[in-house]
Structure 1
Amino acid sequence: MDGAVKQSVAQAENPGSTFERLGLGVGLRNSHFDHILKAWPEVDWFEAISENFMDSGGRPRWVLDQIKERYPIVLHGVSMSIGSTDPLDRAYLAKLKALADDVKARWVSDHLCWTGIMGLNSHDLLPLMLTEEALTHVAARVRIVQDVLERPLVLENPSSYVQFQQSTISEPDFLRALCDQTGCKLLLDVNNVYVTCFNAGTSTDDYMKAFPFEHVVQMHLAGHQHCGTHIVDTHDGPVCDEVWQLFRAAWQKTGGASPLLEWDGDVPEFDRVHAEVLRARAYIDGIDPVEAVATRSRTSAATSTPVDFMVPNVMGDSRMQTL
């Protein structure tokens, strides 16, 4: 068997060993289950919150099993606590691997953060002190996780509201070193970049110039609540213009990472959520989305064909759901 065939077989047996371009994805939310099963919408892929399905059976898991037969699935976790000083939860990792294998997850992601200590889970994504000591600590834990999962781990830059004076490494440099040392990959959340930089009073341009785009396999888009003096990462509305502009610049540098929209609070009907992520097509093509709609409308009027592009009305983190 030649090398190309061996690689194809390995990829078929373990989809999480490769990072394909999936297109535009939507975060899977239980309020949309009925619509998805009835309409089978033209979505490229879904991202499921790992913890919502690891311990659940019954209808939620049955729904995910139906969806996995028609769409690629990516798992996104909020409880791995890769930066904690507590021992890694081996039972959690075993259940995560079993779920990833069962749904043929394209990859498994979580956050560069810690979520608790002494066995207590805060259900918050808490920031790390970014030092050489922390880098060594997190890298060792990433290697263990990857050995258990038998696939590279994908880590997301979190939104943060404080920074540590003791930090000696910037977040982009920390993530680059972590990838270089462990082979893990990155999920770039451009909304989190905007939130973190605003709250810290730092430059998004400087952050993006330093970011290791060569390791990015996925991107997140989401809305937030701007409170004047600070921003809260709420995921309860559409993506703001400033975040879209960050996305436009960043996506080109990733070489085609897979974008996904998160909408976790005040979740509207599915078509509204899907329409929001479809706006990414215009930004990927380098076109102003408002002008794109106007151009298509003029063209459709001249040719008497239906308009097939919709711009949603602009309206306006807790990820765990009760299923």
Structure 2
Amino acid sequence: MLPSQASIALRHQYMDALIEQDVRLPWMEVLADNFLNIDNLHFYRAEPLFQHCPLSLHCIGMNLGAMEALNEEYLHAVKLLADRLDAKQVSDHVCFHSLEGAHSYDLLPIAYHPENVRYLAGRLSYVQRFLGRPFCVENISSYLFHRQSVLSEGQFLAGLAELSGCGILLDVNNLYVNGLNLSNDPEAAKDYALQQMAELNAEQVWQIHIAGHQRTSWGAIDHHGAALHEDVLTLLFEATRLYGRKPVLLEWDHNIPPLERVLDELNVVSTVLSAVEREPLGVE
């Protein structure tokens, strides 16, 4: 498994800096879709970094929630890459991005319904068996909400973990964004996130993601293009209190600053995790 420490994802904008400065990370996330072709210069340029630390392989192309069959060619490519990198964990998203031949370039939400839990759990179990590695799924940000949903987001995720045996990659920023898009109120958004987090137990949460988001006149966008909001750091603190220390990934995918700025933000995250350990135990 991955170390229960905070780290970052590999991005080409600071790949050279990681190599030249010999930055040692406790673990690193690799976006699988950037490296599915391993016989090219891009892969060999990054390969020294792959040998420095444990790796988590993150995917965006499994289309787990779609009604069509899983893409076996894509799964084979992911498995080859995971085997080549000896990935400790593989993940994708609780979403779909195609319907009747039409393809979306966004991750689309699924109704929180028991039938969808059963359908998705079967597909997740198959993927984990196929890959032969621990597999977890990430909750996504949503800008619309299904009338067919009869479960909470947290109940839906917990059901997937229970039925499939897979883990949850809990993105606390996505929970906060969803709360904002439901209420347009920061306090209500924090309450929403905490309510969903309370539905999951420590064994079900295998990894945590955090990122920056953007507020707009019509809602919030999970754009991964800014520093972490203080409310998201508070939610990270609460998640660590609930589940114990987990591998935590800081995502910064747009408006990417120099590596030094990303590592400064990573230090903020590590400080939050350390603060949980220093918190005195309550007295009954």
TM-score, normalization: structure 1? 0.80
Q: Does 1:275 align with 2:264?
A: yes
- Residue 251 of structure 1 contacts residue 284 of structure 1 at CA under 8 Å; is this kept in 2? yes
22 and 211 in structure 1: CA distance in 2 versus 1, 3 angstrom threshold: closer
Match of 2:251 among 262, 277, 294: 262
State the Cα distance separating 1:119 from its structure 2 match: 4.5
Structure 1 stretch 40-49 or stretch 98-107: which is displaced more? 40-49
**Letter in structure 1 aligned against 2:50:** K
State the Cα distance separating 1:82 from its structure 2 match: 0.7
* Partner residue in 2 for 1:299: none
**Superposed counterparts of 1:68-83, under 5 Å:** 68-83=50-65
State the Cα distance separating 1:272 from its structure 2 match: 0.8
* Partner residue in 2 for 1:204: 193
State the Cα distance separating 1:221 from its structure 2 match: 1.1
State the Cα distance separating 1:45 from its structure 2 match: 1.7
**Letter in structure 2 aligned against 1:258:** P
* Partner residue in 2 for 1:50: 32
* Partner residue in 1 for 2:162: 180
**Letter in structure 2 aligned against 1:128:** I
* Partner residue in 2 for 1:306: none
State the Cα distance separating 1:24 from its structure 2 match: 1.6
Match of 2:117 among 135, 154, 159: 135
Match of 2:127 among 131, 140, 145: 145
* Partner residue in 2 for 1:92: 74
* Partner residue in 1 for 2:212: 223
Alpha-carbon distance in structure 2 between the residues aligned to 1:100 and 1:205: 33
- Residue 79 of structure 1 contacts residue 123 of structure 1 at CA under 8 Å; is this kept in 2? no
Alpha-carbon distance in structure 1 between the residues aligned to 2:193 and 2:51: 39
State the Cα distance separating 1:21 from its structure 2 match: 2.2
198 and 212 in structure 1: CA distance in 2 versus 1, 3 angstrom threshold: farther
* Partner residue in 2 for 1:102: 84
**Letter in structure 1 aligned against 2:55:** I
- Residue 22 of structure 1 contacts residue 45 of structure 1 at CA under 8 Å; is this kept in 2? no
**Letter in structure 2 aligned against 1:81:** N
Q: Would you say how many aligned residue pairs link Structure 1 and Structure 2?
A: 269
Alpha-carbon distance in structure 2 between the residues aligned to 1:68 and 1:270: 17
Alpha-carbon distance in structure 2 between the residues aligned to 1:122 and 1:56: 26
Alpha-carbon distance in structure 2 between the residues aligned to 1:52 and 1:285: 33
Alpha-carbon distance in structure 1 between the residues aligned to 2:218 and 2:203: 33
Alpha-carbon distance in structure 1 between the residues aligned to 2:130 and 2:94: 18
State the Cα distance separating 1:231 from its structure 2 match: 0.4
Alpha-carbon distance in structure 2 between the residues aligned to 1:139 and 1:209: 21
* Partner residue in 1 for 2:241: 252
State the Cα distance separating 1:252 from its structure 2 match: 2.3
* Partner residue in 2 for 1:240: 229
- Residue 212 of structure 2 contacts residue 222 of structure 2 at CA under 8 Å; is this kept in 1? yes
* Partner residue in 2 for 1:38: 20
The percent identity for this pair of structures is: 32
Of the two, which has the highest radius of gyration? 1
State the Cα distance separating 1:61 from its structure 2 match: 0.8
State the Cα distance separating 1:54 from its structure 2 match: 0.7
State the Cα distance separating 1:228 from its structure 2 match: 4.2
**Letter in structure 1 aligned against 2:233:** W
Structure 2: tracts of 5 or more residues without a match: 277-284
- Residue 4 of structure 2 contacts residue 245 of structure 2 at CA under 8 Å; is this kept in 1? no
Q: Over aligned residue pairs, what C-alpha RMSD do you find?
A: 1.6
Alpha-carbon distance in structure 1 between the residues aligned to 2:150 and 2:120: 15
Structure 1 stretch 166-175 or stretch 114-123: which is displaced more? 114-123
Q: Does 1:27 align with 2:32?
A: no
